[in-house]
Amino acid sequence: MVGSKMSKKRSEEYLRQRENSFNLSGVHQERLPQYNALLDRNLRHHFESRPLQSHLNDLGLIDQRGRIVDLDKQKSKLFIIDQEFKLAEEAERKKQREEEELRRRVQMKRHDALHDARQREKLQQLKEEKKIAREIVEAVETSTAVAPASAGETALSEMNAAFASCLSLVCPPIQYPPHCRFNPVRDAADTAEIEIRLEEFFLHAKQLEQLFLTDAAEMLAAVSLESTNGTENDANVEDLSEKTGGRQQQSELELEILNLEAELAEKNDLVEKYTEVVRGWEGKFKRLDHRMSPDRE
Protein backbone atom coordinates (compact mmCIF):
# COMPACT_ATOMS: atom_id res chain seq x y z
CA MET A 1 0.00 0.00 0.00
CA VAL A 2 2.78 2.37 0.94
CA GLY A 3 4.84 1.25 -2.06
CA SER A 4 2.02 1.99 -4.48
CA LYS A 5 1.70 5.54 -3.11
CA MET A 6 5.42 6.15 -3.51
CA SER A 7 5.41 4.87 -7.08
CA LYS A 8 2.47 7.13 -7.90
CA LYS A 9 4.27 10.15 -6.52
CA ARG A 10 7.39 9.31 -8.50
CA SER A 11 5.41 9.00 -11.72
CA GLU A 12 3.70 12.36 -11.16
CA GLU A 13 7.03 14.04 -10.43
CA TYR A 14 8.51 12.51 -13.58
CA LEU A 15 5.64 13.72 -15.74
CA ARG A 16 5.90 17.23 -14.28
CA GLN A 17 9.60 17.38 -15.06
CA ARG A 18 9.01 16.27 -18.65
CA GLU A 19 6.27 18.87 -19.08
CA ASN A 20 8.49 21.65 -17.77
CA SER A 21 11.34 20.60 -20.03
CA PHE A 22 9.11 20.78 -23.17
CA ASN A 23 10.03 23.94 -25.13
CA LEU A 24 9.80 24.86 -28.85
CA SER A 25 11.75 28.08 -28.72
CA GLY A 26 14.53 26.62 -30.84
CA VAL A 27 12.20 25.47 -33.63
CA HIS A 28 11.72 27.83 -36.63
CA GLN A 29 8.02 28.75 -36.93
CA GLU A 30 6.64 29.83 -40.32
CA ARG A 31 3.31 31.55 -40.96
CA LEU A 32 0.77 29.50 -42.81
CA PRO A 33 -0.18 30.91 -46.20
CA GLN A 34 -3.57 32.67 -46.41
CA TYR A 35 -6.15 30.47 -48.06
CA ASN A 36 -8.39 31.88 -50.78
CA ALA A 37 -11.05 29.53 -52.07
CA LEU A 38 -11.36 31.46 -55.33
CA LEU A 39 -7.73 30.60 -56.17
CA ASP A 40 -8.10 26.92 -55.32
CA ARG A 41 -7.93 24.90 -58.54
CA ASN A 42 -9.73 22.00 -56.96
CA LEU A 43 -12.84 24.19 -56.66
CA ARG A 44 -12.73 25.35 -60.25
CA HIS A 45 -15.75 23.28 -61.32
CA HIS A 46 -17.66 24.57 -58.29
CA PHE A 47 -17.16 28.24 -59.22
CA GLU A 48 -17.91 27.71 -62.92
CA SER A 49 -21.69 27.61 -62.35
CA ARG A 50 -23.53 30.67 -63.68
CA PRO A 51 -25.76 31.33 -60.63
CA LEU A 52 -22.73 31.24 -58.32
CA GLN A 53 -20.74 33.56 -60.60
CA SER A 54 -23.65 36.06 -60.74
CA HIS A 55 -23.83 35.94 -56.95
CA LEU A 56 -20.06 36.55 -56.63
CA ASN A 57 -20.37 39.38 -59.14
CA ASP A 58 -23.10 40.98 -57.05
CA LEU A 59 -20.85 40.70 -54.00
CA GLY A 60 -17.97 42.31 -55.89
CA LEU A 61 -15.57 39.37 -55.58
CA ILE A 62 -15.29 38.82 -59.35
CA ASP A 63 -15.84 41.08 -62.35
CA GLN A 64 -18.20 40.51 -65.29
CA ARG A 65 -15.55 38.51 -67.16
CA GLY A 66 -15.07 36.13 -64.23
CA ARG A 67 -11.71 37.47 -63.09
CA ILE A 68 -11.01 37.60 -59.38
CA VAL A 69 -11.04 41.10 -57.93
CA ASP A 70 -8.16 41.85 -55.57
CA LEU A 71 -9.75 43.77 -52.73
CA ASP A 72 -6.43 45.11 -51.46
CA LYS A 73 -5.64 46.68 -54.84
CA GLN A 74 -9.18 47.93 -55.49
CA LYS A 75 -9.74 49.74 -52.21
CA SER A 76 -10.28 53.11 -53.88
CA LYS A 77 -12.90 51.69 -56.23
CA LEU A 78 -14.64 49.94 -53.37
CA PHE A 79 -14.62 53.16 -51.40
CA ILE A 80 -16.22 55.00 -54.32
CA ILE A 81 -18.84 52.29 -54.71
CA ASP A 82 -19.50 52.36 -50.99
CA GLN A 83 -19.92 56.12 -51.08
CA GLU A 84 -22.31 55.85 -54.01
CA PHE A 85 -24.40 53.35 -52.08
CA LYS A 86 -24.43 55.64 -49.05
CA LEU A 87 -25.44 58.64 -51.15
CA ALA A 88 -28.20 56.63 -52.82
CA GLU A 89 -29.52 55.49 -49.43
CA GLU A 90 -29.36 59.05 -48.08
CA ALA A 91 -31.23 60.36 -51.14
CA GLU A 92 -33.89 57.68 -50.67
CA ARG A 93 -34.29 58.56 -46.99
CA LYS A 94 -34.52 62.27 -47.86
CA LYS A 95 -37.18 61.53 -50.47
CA GLN A 96 -39.18 59.50 -47.95
CA ARG A 97 -38.93 62.32 -45.39
CA GLU A 98 -40.14 64.86 -47.96
CA GLU A 99 -43.07 62.64 -48.91
CA GLU A 100 -44.02 62.17 -45.25
CA GLU A 101 -43.77 65.92 -44.63
CA LEU A 102 -45.93 66.66 -47.68
CA ARG A 103 -48.48 64.06 -46.59
CA ARG A 104 -48.51 65.54 -43.07
CA ARG A 105 -49.06 69.07 -44.40
CA VAL A 106 -51.95 67.95 -46.60
CA GLN A 107 -53.53 66.14 -43.66
CA MET A 108 -53.09 69.20 -41.42
CA LYS A 109 -54.72 71.40 -44.07
CA ARG A 110 -57.68 69.04 -44.24
CA HIS A 111 -58.04 69.02 -40.46
CA ASP A 112 -57.80 72.81 -40.35
CA ALA A 113 -60.43 73.14 -43.09
CA LEU A 114 -62.81 70.80 -41.24
CA HIS A 115 -62.21 72.66 -37.97
CA ASP A 116 -62.86 76.04 -39.63
CA ALA A 117 -66.04 74.73 -41.25
CA ARG A 118 -67.31 73.45 -37.90
CA GLN A 119 -66.46 76.75 -36.22
CA ARG A 120 -68.26 78.71 -38.93
CA GLU A 121 -71.30 76.44 -38.63
CA LYS A 122 -71.40 76.88 -34.85
CA LEU A 123 -70.99 80.65 -35.20
CA GLN A 124 -73.79 80.80 -37.78
CA GLN A 125 -76.05 78.76 -35.52
CA LEU A 126 -75.33 81.06 -32.58
CA LYS A 127 -76.05 84.11 -34.73
CA GLU A 128 -79.39 82.65 -35.84
CA GLU A 129 -80.37 81.79 -32.28
CA LYS A 130 -79.42 85.26 -31.05
CA LYS A 131 -81.35 86.79 -33.95
CA ILE A 132 -84.43 84.81 -32.95
CA ALA A 133 -83.92 85.92 -29.34
CA ARG A 134 -83.67 89.56 -30.41
CA GLU A 135 -86.84 89.22 -32.49
CA ILE A 136 -88.67 87.75 -29.52
CA VAL A 137 -87.40 90.51 -27.22
CA GLU A 138 -88.48 93.15 -29.75
CA ALA A 139 -91.90 91.51 -30.04
CA VAL A 140 -92.19 91.50 -26.25
CA GLU A 141 -91.22 95.17 -26.09
CA THR A 142 -93.75 96.13 -28.76
CA SER A 143 -96.46 94.05 -27.10
CA THR A 144 -95.76 95.64 -23.71
CA ALA A 145 -95.74 99.14 -25.25
CA VAL A 146 -99.33 98.71 -26.51
CA ALA A 147 -101.91 98.04 -23.82
CA PRO A 148 -103.50 94.58 -24.12
CA ALA A 149 -107.11 94.76 -25.18
CA SER A 150 -108.19 91.15 -24.62
CA ALA A 151 -107.36 87.99 -22.68
CA GLY A 152 -105.68 86.47 -25.76
CA GLU A 153 -103.29 89.39 -26.10
CA THR A 154 -102.56 89.25 -22.36
CA ALA A 155 -101.74 85.54 -22.58
CA LEU A 156 -99.58 86.17 -25.65
CA SER A 157 -97.61 88.89 -23.86
CA GLU A 158 -97.12 86.62 -20.82
CA MET A 159 -95.93 83.79 -23.08
CA ASN A 160 -93.49 86.11 -24.89
CA ALA A 161 -92.20 87.45 -21.58
CA ALA A 162 -91.65 83.92 -20.25
CA PHE A 163 -89.90 82.84 -23.43
CA ALA A 164 -87.74 85.98 -23.45
CA SER A 165 -86.74 85.41 -19.82
CA CYS A 166 -85.81 81.84 -20.74
CA LEU A 167 -83.76 83.00 -23.72
CA SER A 168 -82.00 85.59 -21.56
CA LEU A 169 -80.24 82.63 -19.95
CA VAL A 170 -80.01 80.47 -23.07
CA CYS A 171 -78.65 83.19 -25.42
CA PRO A 172 -76.91 85.84 -23.29
CA PRO A 173 -75.43 88.80 -25.20
CA ILE A 174 -71.84 87.69 -24.59
CA GLN A 175 -69.27 87.44 -27.37
CA TYR A 176 -67.39 84.24 -26.66
CA PRO A 177 -63.99 83.69 -28.37
CA PRO A 178 -64.04 81.32 -31.37
CA HIS A 179 -61.81 78.77 -29.64
CA CYS A 180 -64.06 78.56 -26.53
CA ARG A 181 -66.95 76.15 -26.38
CA PHE A 182 -70.35 77.85 -25.98
CA ASN A 183 -71.36 76.97 -22.42
CA PRO A 184 -73.27 79.81 -20.69
CA VAL A 185 -74.77 77.57 -18.00
CA ARG A 186 -72.22 77.00 -15.24
CA ASP A 187 -74.01 75.11 -12.46
CA ALA A 188 -77.13 73.13 -11.66
CA ALA A 189 -78.99 76.19 -10.30
CA ASP A 190 -79.12 77.82 -13.73
CA THR A 191 -80.31 74.54 -15.24
CA ALA A 192 -83.15 74.29 -12.72
CA GLU A 193 -84.17 77.90 -13.32
CA ILE A 194 -84.23 77.35 -17.07
CA GLU A 195 -86.40 74.25 -16.64
CA ILE A 196 -88.88 76.26 -14.52
CA ARG A 197 -89.03 79.02 -17.12
CA LEU A 198 -89.52 76.51 -19.93
CA GLU A 199 -92.44 74.94 -18.07
CA GLU A 200 -93.93 78.41 -17.59
CA PHE A 201 -93.50 79.16 -21.29
CA PHE A 202 -95.24 75.96 -22.41
CA LEU A 203 -98.08 76.62 -19.93
CA HIS A 204 -98.62 80.10 -21.39
CA ALA A 205 -98.49 78.65 -24.91
CA LYS A 206 -101.22 76.13 -24.08
CA GLN A 207 -103.37 78.83 -22.48
CA LEU A 208 -102.91 81.06 -25.52
CA GLU A 209 -103.92 78.25 -27.86
CA GLN A 210 -107.05 77.55 -25.82
CA LEU A 211 -107.95 81.25 -25.77
CA PHE A 212 -107.57 81.52 -29.52
CA LEU A 213 -109.73 78.46 -30.02
CA THR A 214 -112.45 79.77 -27.69
CA ASP A 215 -112.37 83.21 -29.34
CA ALA A 216 -112.70 81.64 -32.76
CA ALA A 217 -115.61 79.48 -31.57
CA GLU A 218 -117.38 82.49 -30.03
CA MET A 219 -116.89 84.55 -33.18
CA LEU A 220 -118.28 81.76 -35.34
CA ALA A 221 -121.29 81.37 -33.01
CA ALA A 222 -121.91 85.12 -33.07
CA VAL A 223 -121.69 85.20 -36.85
CA SER A 224 -124.13 82.30 -37.18
CA LEU A 225 -126.52 83.97 -34.71
CA GLU A 226 -126.33 87.29 -36.51
CA SER A 227 -126.84 85.57 -39.85
CA THR A 228 -130.03 83.87 -38.56
CA ASN A 229 -131.28 87.15 -37.09
CA GLY A 230 -130.43 88.87 -40.35
CA THR A 231 -132.49 86.39 -42.36
CA GLU A 232 -135.50 86.82 -40.05
CA ASN A 233 -135.25 90.60 -40.26
CA ASP A 234 -134.85 90.42 -44.04
CA ALA A 235 -138.06 88.43 -44.25
CA ASN A 236 -139.96 91.05 -42.26
CA VAL A 237 -138.28 94.18 -43.66
CA GLU A 238 -139.05 95.10 -47.25
CA ASP A 239 -136.48 97.85 -47.60
CA LEU A 240 -133.61 96.90 -49.93
CA SER A 241 -131.17 99.28 -48.25
CA GLU A 242 -131.43 97.43 -44.94
CA LYS A 243 -130.80 94.11 -46.74
CA THR A 244 -127.64 95.39 -48.37
CA GLY A 245 -126.45 96.82 -45.01
CA GLY A 246 -126.95 93.45 -43.28
CA ARG A 247 -125.12 91.62 -46.03
CA GLN A 248 -122.24 94.10 -45.87
CA GLN A 249 -122.01 93.66 -42.10
CA GLN A 250 -122.02 89.88 -42.55
CA SER A 251 -119.20 90.07 -45.11
CA GLU A 252 -117.19 92.29 -42.75
CA LEU A 253 -117.65 89.77 -39.94
CA GLU A 254 -116.58 86.92 -42.22
CA LEU A 255 -113.49 88.90 -43.24
CA GLU A 256 -112.67 89.56 -39.59
CA ILE A 257 -113.01 85.84 -38.85
CA LEU A 258 -110.64 85.02 -41.70
CA ASN A 259 -108.14 87.56 -40.39
CA LEU A 260 -108.37 86.07 -36.90
CA GLU A 261 -107.85 82.57 -38.31
CA ALA A 262 -104.79 83.75 -40.26
CA GLU A 263 -103.40 85.45 -37.16
CA LEU A 264 -104.02 82.28 -35.16
CA ALA A 265 -102.16 80.23 -37.79
CA GLU A 266 -99.22 82.66 -37.67
CA LYS A 267 -99.13 82.48 -33.88
CA ASN A 268 -99.23 78.67 -34.01
CA ASP A 269 -96.36 78.63 -36.50
CA LEU A 270 -94.40 81.00 -34.27
CA VAL A 271 -95.06 78.81 -31.22
CA GLU A 272 -93.99 75.66 -33.11
CA LYS A 273 -90.83 77.38 -34.35
CA TYR A 274 -89.82 78.60 -30.90
CA THR A 275 -90.81 75.26 -29.37
CA GLU A 276 -88.32 73.49 -31.66
CA VAL A 277 -85.61 75.96 -30.61
CA VAL A 278 -86.40 75.45 -26.93
CA ARG A 279 -86.40 71.66 -27.33
CA GLY A 280 -82.99 71.86 -28.94
CA TRP A 281 -81.70 73.83 -25.98
CA GLU A 282 -83.36 71.34 -23.61
CA GLY A 283 -81.31 68.58 -25.23
CA LYS A 284 -78.15 70.65 -24.78
CA PHE A 285 -78.96 71.26 -21.12
CA LYS A 286 -79.64 67.57 -20.54
CA ARG A 287 -76.29 66.64 -22.07
CA LEU A 288 -74.64 69.34 -19.95
CA ASP A 289 -76.38 68.06 -16.82
CA HIS A 290 -75.24 64.52 -17.69
CA ARG A 291 -71.64 65.71 -18.02
CA MET A 292 -71.85 67.67 -14.74
CA SER A 293 -73.49 64.83 -12.77
CA PRO A 294 -71.28 63.30 -10.02
CA ASP A 295 -72.45 59.76 -10.91
CA ARG A 296 -70.52 59.97 -14.17
CA GLU A 297 -67.22 60.52 -12.32
What backbone phi and psi angles, to 5 degrees, belong to 62? -135, 160
For 84, 128, 163, 271, 288, the CA distances from 135, given in Å and listed in that order, are: 76, 10, 11, 13, 26
Contacts of 133 (CB under 8 A, 6+ apart): 164, 167, 168, 170, 171
- How much is the pTM? 0.26
Say what the pLDDT of residue 94 is.
Answer: 94
Provide the H-helix boundaries in 146-181: 151-170
Which three-class secondary structure state does DSSP give residue 48?
Answer: coil
pLDDT along the chain (297 residues), means of 10: 76 88 71 83 88 88 83 74 90 94 92 90 87 80 57 62 58 46 48 65 69 72 65 52 59 75 75 73 72 60
Q: How far apart are CA 290 and CA 297, in angstroms?
A: 10
Say what the pLDDT of residue 48 is.
Answer: 86
Contacts of 205 (CB under 8 A, 6+ apart): 159, 271, 275
Q: How far apart are CA 275 and CA 273, in angstroms?
A: 5
Provide the H-helix boundaries in 151-239: 151-170, 188-236
Domain residue spans of the chain: 47-126, 147-292
